[in-house]
Amino acid sequence: MIVDNALYHEGVRVPLDGDEPSLGHARVPCGAGDFQWVGLLDPTAAELALIATTFDLHPLAVEDSGDSHQRPKLERYGDTLFMVLKTLWYVDEYDAVETGEINVFVGPDFVVTVRHGQGVNLATSRRDLEQRAKVLEHGPMAVMYAICDRVVDEYERVGAALEVDVDEVEESVFSPARTDDSVRIYTLKREIAEVRRAVMPLREPMRRFAAGQIDGVDEQTATYFRDVSDHLYRVSEVIDNLDVLLSTAFDAHLARISVQQNDDMRKISAGAALVVVPTLIAGIYGMNFDHVPELHWAYGYPFAVVLMIGVSTGLFYWFKKSGWL
C-alpha cells in the first residue's frame, strides 16, 4: 500500500489534493527544482506494476523490489538510480537480529521507496527531513541520504546491543562458575553474520556517494554521504572485532572445559587411590595364610585398621596439598 505521497518545492512540502494518498494520483507534475517522494509498504505485485508504469521504472529493478531477500546494492537504469538496503533491529530477549528491506528508486524529479518488513520507519525519517529545508533543497539525493543515514544509525544500535551481549559472554566464559556458553556463542556469531551481510556490501555504494562518483551528487551532497560512510565503516569495524572476540571466547571456553576435565580426572584418581590402598591392605590380610605377618597376633586386626586409616589420611593430605582434591 502507499503510505505517503508528497511534493517538495525548494525544500518545503507542498500539500497534494486528496485526503488520503493513493495510487490513483501517485504522479504529480513537478516544476524546476521540485521533486516527489512516494512511499510504499509491502506492496502487492499489481501495486508495483502500477507504480512502475507511472514512473517508468525498469522491469528488472521492479522485480528486485518485489523480493524482500535482495543483497544490498546500487544500480543505475537509464536516469533512474536503484538501491537496496537491509534494515536491522535487535531482539535482545532471543539474541536475534531481525531484518527488513528498503528499495529506493531515485529519478531526476522523484523518489519511490518500497519497504518490506518492520525495520526502519521511513515516516520518521520523512518528518525529520522536512524539518531540514536546507538539506531537502539538494533534491532527491537528500532523500537518499536521509534513508541511508537512518538505516546506518540502526546498524550502530544493533552493533551496540551485540557488544553488550558479547561482553556478557566473555564474563561468563571467564567466571569461576561452570557455564555452558557454546550455544549462545554460536547464536551470536550467526547474528553477527546476518549483520555482516547487511553492512559489508553497502560500503562500496556509500564510498561512491561520498566520493561524488554518482550522477546527481554534487560536492555539498557528498559531504553528507561522507558522514554516513564514516559511520558505516565504524560499524563494520565493530562487527569484525565482535566476531574475533567471539571466536577467542569460544576457544577459551573449550580450553576451560579441557582444564576442568583434567581437574576432574585428578580428583577421580585421588579418590580412587584413597579407596585402593585400604582395599589392598584388606586383600592381603584376607588371604588367611599361616605366614601372613601378624595373622595370629591379638592386635593384628586393630593394627590393619589403623594402617588403612593412617595411609588414607596421609594420601588425603598429600593430594590436598598437591591440588588434586
| More reliable by pLDDT, 178 or 17 | 178
**CA distance readout (Å), 10 to 40, 176, 232, 299, 323:** 24, 64, 29, 113, 79
pLDDT band at 2 (very low <50, low <70, confident <90, very high): confident
What is the spatial distance between Cα 84 and Cα 51, in angstroms, rounded to a whole number?
A: 17
* Residue with more model confidence, 22 or 195: 195
Please report the beta strands in the chain, taking only residues with DSSP state E, as ranges in sequence order.
Answer: 2-9, 12-14, 34-41, 73-77, 80-91, 96-106, 110-116
**Res 259 pLDDT > 60:** yes
- Assign 33 a pLDDT band (cuts: 50, 70, 90): confident
Return the pLDDT at 77.
Answer: 92
Q: How confident is the model at residue 166, as a pLDDT?
A: 92
User: Residue 222: CB partners within 8 Å, gap ≥ 6?
Assistant: 209, 210, 211, 212
Q: How does pLDDT run across 74-92, given as a tens digit for each residue?
A: 999 989 999 999 999 988 8
User: pLDDT tens across 208-240, in order?
Assistant: 999 989 888 888 889 999 999 999 999 999 999
Instruction: Give dist(CA 278, CA 313) in Å, integer.
Output: 11
For 247-258, the pLDDT digits (tens) are 988 888 888 877
Nearest Cα residue to 88 out of 20, 136, 150: 150
Q: pLDDT band for position 262 (50/70/90)?
A: confident
Percent of the chain with pLDDT over 90: 32
User: What DSSP character marks residue 201?
Assistant: G
Task: State whether the Cα torsion 263-264-267-272 is positive or negative.
Answer: negative
pLDDT of 7 higher than 80:
yes
Higher pLDDT, 69 or 303: 69
- Catalogue all structural domains in the chain, each as residue range(s) with its CATH number: 2-255 (3.30.460.20), 261-322 (1.20.58)
Q: Taking the model in full, what pTM does it have?
A: 0.77
Mean pLDDT to the nearest integer, 88-114:
89
Q: Considering the chain, what percentage of its residues have pLDDT values greater than 70?
A: 87
